[in-house]
Homo-oligomer: A and B are copies of this chain.
Amino acid sequence: MTEDKSFHMTPDEFRRYGHAVVDWIADYQSRVESFPVLSKVKPGEIRASLPANPPAQGEPFQALLKDVERLILPGVTHWQSPNFFAYFPCNASGPGILGDLLSSGLGVQGMLWSTSPACTELETHVMDWLVGMLGLPEKFLSSSTGGGVIQDTASSAALCALLAGRERATGYTSNKKGCDGRLVAYASTQTHSSLEKAAMIAGIGVEHLRLIEVDENFAMQPEALARQIEADKHAGLTPCFVCATVGTTSSNAMDPIAAIGEICRRHNLWLHVDAAMSGTAMLCPEFRHLQDGVELADSYNFNPHKWMAVNFDCSAFWVSDRKALIQTLSILPEYLRNQATESGAVIDYRDWHIQLGRRFRSLKLWFVIRHYGIEGLRHHIREHVKLAQEFAGWVRNDDRFELAAPVPLNLVCFRHKGGDAVNQAIMDGLNRSGDLFLTHTKLNGKLTLRLCVGQTNTKAWHVANAWKRIREAANELQKIA
């Protein structure tokens, strides 16, 4: 074994194999529509094709790439297909992928300002840009009392917000003494499940997350919220946090932020606004009325990795009082001490989230914003909204179908009037075909189909074809019945 023996990939090999991987991805982008959107493999099928044991000796890179094609691809559900209408989108884009590639190549870990000043400062800068781009309140700016940080997901952002609310309500003692079983948080029955998970994690308990009833449009009823808070206070409990949603996952319902914000202010509760998908629409001034009252929020979150073409993960989170967040999560062991931190002149993002370590994620966000410009981003958002509105119109004009919820932006909730079994059959048949991928929810107890127009490359003909296929499926079922 000589000193110089090395198993590493040399820079020249990296160049060669890197070109091959880039070419593979470019080809994948070109042929993505040729694959079944929802993978057709059965449970265990992918594992069965993999060798039982890891290789004792290294293998040539070409073998790896070949196996991605041969073994992995059949097990992929194609989130980057323009025929992906399921859940919420999770969009990659050329500039996003390449920004992320640079992050991998630089390989910096940005836990502290000093461990890569550019990683921290570019992030703060781009998050400040987004405050303006989305018409968010100035208190979220780093130059004000607040600031933004990139989190991995909206789940983590909601957890951080809940923790900060918990701490503020207990005078920053529950992170020291633990929770006392009396803290209460609030969301609507339509709020994303990550809030339940956050209440479980934060020691508040899911039974102390009050799920407030919604109105006929699935939006939180502020009066019900106010009543519940007062009841809890009378019962000697400690309300601490409310989550309002701009565009719920189930039906894209819009909670009335202004009314909820007034209640939070009156009771001194932390107001978190979750705009995970729909926040991207706020790039366009004409949609900002959907979050009127956002200036009352203590924190706000949206995911550029959903609808803004920044590939996963990239979740943008702001607070209006950064001290509250830092006081909630701060730790400073000796081995992380350094001059810049002691000076107080810098941001150390390790105190802004759950993790200590962090990737250079602002690179991909910066690349996407600069590649598209505000004009390009707005163009594609408007196009998606227009296509969803057209689709909603087709549903409205077909007697066999009905809309199940308002369509404020790009998510259409609809159903065949024939009942749950018919809708399930339409969805399962289409998904099995591989030609498109739809998912469902339940609204008012009824199975409801969801068509979300948001994949980067979805165009008019993809949406038109989806509607054609849905109608054909309904025709087939009628013939059988």
Contacts and interface: CB of A to CB of B under 8 A. Distances in A.
Given A18-B98, A175-B205, A178-B205, 15 more contacts: A3-B383, A3-B460, A11-B26, A15-B22, A50-B121, A72-B363, A75-B118, A76-B106, A77-B116, A92-B104, A97-B107, A153-B356, A200-B328, A250-B334, A334-B442
Interface in A1-46: 1, 3-15, 17-19, 21-30, 38-39, 41, 43-46
B15 A75 contact: no
Given A132-B54, A193-B356, A125 B95 contact: no
B44 A121 contact: yes
A54 to B, nearest CB: 4
Contact of A29 (B11, B59, B132): B11
Interface in A311-336: 311-313, 328-329, 331-336
Q: Is the interface of A mostly helix, strand, loop or mixed?
A: helix
Contact of A181 (B56, B179, B207): B179
A423 B460 CA distance: 67
Contact of A79 (B63, B107, B377): B107
Contacts of A346: 43
Most B-side CB within 10 Å, residue of A47, A77, A90, A367: A77
A288 B60 CA distance: 29
Interface string A419-452: 0000000000000000000011110000000100
A26 to B, nearest CB: 4
A77 B338 CA distance: 14
Nearest to A99: B64
Contacts of A376: 7, 57-58
B102 A21 contact: yes
A258 interface: no
B9 A18 contact: no
A359 interface: yes
A255 interface: no
A345 B44 contact: yes
6 contacts: A7-B379, A77-B117, A79-B116, A90-B108, A152-B152, A153-B356
A440 B337 CA distance: 9
Contacts of A456: 8
Contacts of A63: 370
A206 B176 CA distance: 5
Given A201-B163, A354-B354, A77 B114 contact: yes
A354 B155 contact: yes
Given A74-B118, A354-B201, A193 B333 contact: yes
A417 interface: no
Interface in A147-164: 152-156, 159, 163
